[in-house]
Amino acid sequence: MITQIHIDSRFSGPPNSANGGYTCGLIAAAIGETVNVRLYLPPPLDINLELSPADQADKWQLKHEKKLIAAATTTQVRAHVPNAPTYVDALEASKHFTGHNQHAYANCFVCGPQRAQGDGLRIFAGKLSNSNVVAAPWLPRGDLGNDQGKVKPEFIWAALDCPGYFASVKPGRSALLGELAVHIDRSIHVEEPSVIIGWQILIEGRKHKVGTALFDEDGERCAVGVATWIELA
């Protein structure tokens, strides 16, 4: 069965393309399983895309006409997740967000400082004191929720996208999301204070493997992600 996916221009990442985490989240929400999504082309905005099962079991493809935009495969997300910082510590860490001074994609829906309050997510992950882990507070707005007042999965995927970039890619360098897998243990409520962290797992050449996690206000893990970022030459 073919599912139509349409990404509004509000949800941009790099100029003229969609935020990778949000795109992957829409794909995962449509499939309804834990998946790893690999991006092959910048996801286009304001265009109807088609998500359909691939020839192999447990695989799906997102296409525009005959162009492969992304592919998804069922997976299990495994990562050693650092302890959750407090909301206050995450708030302090966000003051050290390097993107305030230099940002390759300053209008990104997730981490762009040029986005106004109520428009972008404005998740500004900065390094925690005496740690290589980055953290940011997040208070998801009401428009990100479903009818039950829970944050929609595509926004959780989006929130777990950019903090991994800032955990591994050095300031002044640019990278694009190559792959992202997210497992949602449970959603959080809108207007619920939460914390997001990101950490480096390994670097292989221009590939940065990173982890991200979302915690509720009690420090309980709600979601975890593992991503690969490709640093631009």
Residue pair 75/31 in contact (Cβ under 8 Å)? The answer is no
Q: Which residue reads 């740690």 in tokens? A: 131
Same domain, 135 and 40: no
Same domain, 65 and 158: no
**What is the DSSP track for 175-188?**
EEEEEEEEEES---
- Given a cut of 90, whether residue 1 has pLDDT beyond it is no
Q: Which residue reads 């209008």 in tokens? A: 107
- Give per-residue pLDDT as tens, 64-112: 999 999 999 999 999 999 999 999 999 999 999 999 998 989 999 999 9
Residue pair 45/8 in contact (Cβ under 8 Å)? The answer is yes
Q: What is the largest CA-CA distance in the chain?
A: 50
The structural domain count of the chain equals 2
29 is a domain residue? yes
Q: Which of 17, 40, 74 is the last residue of a domain?
A: 74
Residue pair 224/182 in contact (Cβ under 8 Å)? The answer is yes
Q: Which of 50, 74, 98 is the last residue of a domain?
A: 74
The pTM score is 0.96
Instruction: Name the residue with higher pLDDT: 3 or 2.
Output: 3
SS3 letters for 96-109?
Answer: CCHHHCCCCCCCCC
- Give per-residue pLDDT as tens, 131-140: 999 999 999 9
pLDDT band at 171 (very low <50, low <70, confident <90, very high): confident
Supply the DSSP symbol for 178.
E
Residues 177-200, mean pLDDT to the nearest whole number: 97
Q: How many residues does the chain have?
A: 233
Same domain, 32 and 92: no
Same domain, 56 and 99: no
Q: Which domain holds residue 33?
A: 3-74
Q: What CATH number does residue 200 fall under?
A: 3.10.129.10
Rounded to an integer, what distance in angstroms lies between the CA atom of residue 86 and that of residue 172?
A: 29
Q: How far is CA 168 from the centre of its chain?
A: 14
Mean predicted lDDT score pLDDT of the chain: 96
Same domain, 167 and 195: yes
80 is a domain residue? no
Same domain, 64 and 102: no
223 is a domain residue? yes
Same domain, 102 and 59: no
Where helices occur in the chain by DSSP H, the ranges are 20-31, 87-94, 153-159, 162-168
pLDDT band at 172 (very low <50, low <70, confident <90, very high): confident
Give the pLDDT of residue 148: 96
81 is a domain residue? no
- Given a cut of 80, whether residue 193 has pLDDT beyond it is yes
Dihedral Cα 74, 25, 144, 111, nearest 10 deg: 130
Q: What percent of the chain has pLDDT over 90?
A: 93
103-128 burial string, b = 16+ CB within 10 Å, else e?
A: bbbebbbbbbeebeeeebbbbbbbbb
Q: Which residue reads 């999301």 in tokens? A: 177
79 is a domain residue? no
Q: What is the sign, positive or negative, of the torsion defined by CA atoms of 71, 181, 193, 195?
A: negative
pLDDT band at 180 (very low <50, low <70, confident <90, very high): very high
Give the pLDDT of residue 55: 85
Residues 163-175, mean pLDDT to the nearest whole number: 93
Same domain, 115 and 219: yes
- Give per-residue pLDDT as tens, 140-149: 999 999 999 9
Residue pair 140/150 in contact (Cβ under 8 Å)? The answer is no
- Given a cut of 80, whether residue 23 has pLDDT beyond it is yes
Q: What percent of the chain has pLDDT over 70?
A: 100
